[in-house]
A and B are shown apart, each in its own frame.
Chain A
Amino acid sequence: MEVKFNNVYYVYNEKTPLSKMVLGNINTIFKEEKITGIIGKSGSGKTTLIQLINALIIPTKGNVVVGKRIISKTKKIKDINNLRYQIGLVFQMPEEQFFCQTVKEEIEFGMKYFKKSVKNIEKHISDALLMVELNDSYLNRNPFTLSSGEMRKVAIASVLAFNPKIIILDEPTIGLDNKSKNNLIKIIKLLKNRYKKTVIIVSNDTDFLLQVVDHVILLDKGRIIYEGNKYDVFKQDLEKYKIKRPKIIEFEQLVLQKKNIKIGYRDDINDLMKDVYRYVK
């Protein structure tokens, strides 16, 4: 399912003295079966942008098209729950998302809330847990007693369980250890390749993004500054926008700047090594 932004503006506290434009002139498409990363320093409008996708907020001007549904000020969406059923949003701090006593209740909530008659609810829960590499032994545990990596996984599983077409992850790597981060990379790649999801990731962890995304959007002061293929965006001067480049790209850019040698763009340290070896030898 595709998400399209048509000339979207969003103003907080419109028509009050506190009015503030947080997004302006946003035109972009999040394509089906593609993974897009949204980067930008705090306050650049990243979170506002993803809230517009599941109609938590409505554009002040312009519209957002999710599949066939149009989110705009002029037309009220009749079946907002049906829209949200297609969109799985995993918040930044999963512990802020939990409210049930057990992992099982937490995961089945989404399915029950959307009143979908899901057959074999238990199986859906187990499958969702397996996708994030947890097992049934977690079912009766209290989500608040889990470690931060496990909490993140449960939050993702509770979204995967109702099988949305679009998955949005807000700062998914904050607070995760190496191993959990590598697991997350695997899970996200599966979401695209095996489950054909549209994935949108808000994160400034560009090392992580380089490994999973296809496209990148850089936001600053509510505007899209760069948009396109990840290498094209990551090789730009991102420091100006208070973003760290992925270390691999930083290395490649340094070689280009200092030595005028183009070693090409890589996601992976192994591939980078082959290039370096070739150019140094």
Chain B
Amino acid sequence: MINIKNLEFKYHNKLIFNNITLNFEKGKITSLIGPNGCGKSTLVKILVGLYRYNGSIIIDEIPLLKDNIKEIRKKLGVVFTNPDNQFVAETVMDDIAFTLENMNYPKITIRKKIEEITKYLGIYDILEYNPHDLNSNQKQLVNLASALVHEPKILILDEALTMLDPYDKERIMIILKELNEKGLTIINISHDIEDTLISDKIYVMNDGKIILEGTKEEVYKEENILHSLGFDLPFMVELSNRLKFYDLIDNTVYDMEELVDILWK
């Protein structure tokens, strides 16, 4: 879906990416993790066409070039780290409508689509609020609604989950999985390894380089590399590993209830 080949990128004469290659597959959830400041957000900015680059990037069969950016953006829904930087309107309603208006949707369709997505995300009751009066959690949910309302093929989350309250985060992760099962390709950029539990594939980045890539099982095995980059394992993986060490279980168990049942049969 998004193929990045031999990407090279300099910012203020500093080499950020030196010849990296990444593939975000269609219909999959791919996570890209790395410590603060490793180049993750820069990559997102390149993908939405904010920076010029060297190398080749193809998004849903269209090369990412200046002339194609409008067309490519229709395929993308993006949620950035800082929720405040994304608001354009006085009410949540108008804010979410903005993307659709730009794509010339009729008014009646806009209303319908906004109702659908906000009910789905559980923020229907704040449609008339000024986005700036919301808390960071609600703001991020509004941004997610704006990113999804035009039914993009690809959703890019730039640290969007990390800004959520743990309770809402769990709720949203279930929703993301649901959307993914309906065909949405998701690129989840994060510095929290717990956020990668829903992914089919994980890339680990440091200093603009890809250090690890593979399924979550393959990546979680590389505990030493992850530790050296400052990552702990997700709680359930860590717990499973220790239980395996004591021979109490055989495989990693991701569900806590299931684990309790296995331990005390």
Contact = CB atoms under 8 A, between A and B. Distances in A.
B263 A150 contact: no
Contacts of A272: 239
B248 to A, nearest CB: 6
B81 A175 contact: yes
Contacts of B242: 269, 273
A149 B259 CA distance: 34
A44 B221 CA distance: 41
A206 B166 contact: yes
A43 B135 contact: yes
B170 A179 contact: no
A43 B129 CA distance: 14
A53 B148 CA distance: 41
B81 A254 contact: no
A12 interface: no
A280 B263 contact: yes
The number of chain A residues touching the other chain, given as a range, is 35 or more
Interface stretch (B87-95, B97-105, B106-114, B157-165): B157-165
B134 to A, nearest CB: 9
Contacts of B167: 41, 204, 242-244
A259 interface: yes
Interface stretch (B23-31, B209-217, B228-236): B228-236
A205 B81 CA distance: 18
A21 interface: no
Contacts, number: 102
A20 interface: no
Interface residues of B, number: 39
A204 B159 contact: no
Given A258-B257, A280-B264, A174 B239 contact: no
A250 B170 CA distance: 14
Given A41-B167, A244-B166, A174 B136 contact: yes
Interface string A239-250: 000111001001
B55 interface: no
Contact of B248 (A41, A43, A259, A277): A277
Interface string B234-249: 0110110011001010
A42 B264 contact: no
B238 to A, nearest CB: 6
Contact of B35 (A174, A177, A206, A259): A177
A178 B231 contact: yes
Contacts of A280: 248, 263-264
Interface string A33-70: 00000000111000000000000000000000000000
A179 B261 CA distance: 33
A213 to B, nearest CB: 16
A276 interface: yes
Interface in A227-281: 242-244, 247, 250-251, 254-255, 258-259, 261, 269, 272-273, 276-277, 280
Given A42-B137, A269-B239, A269-B242, A178 B166 contact: no
3 residue pairs, one from A and one from B, having the closest CB atoms: A179-B230, A177-B191, A147-B37
Given A182-B232, A272-B239, 5 more contacts: A41-B167, A147-B36, A177-B192, A178-B193, A276-B263
28 contacts: A42-B165, A43-B135, A95-B82, A148-B36, A150-B37, A175-B81, A175-B159, A176-B36, A177-B35, A177-B230, A178-B230, A178-B231, A178-B232, A180-B230, A207-B166, A243-B166, A244-B166, A250-B256, A251-B259, A255-B260, A255-B264, A259-B264, A272-B239, A273-B239, A276-B243, A276-B263, A277-B246, A280-B264
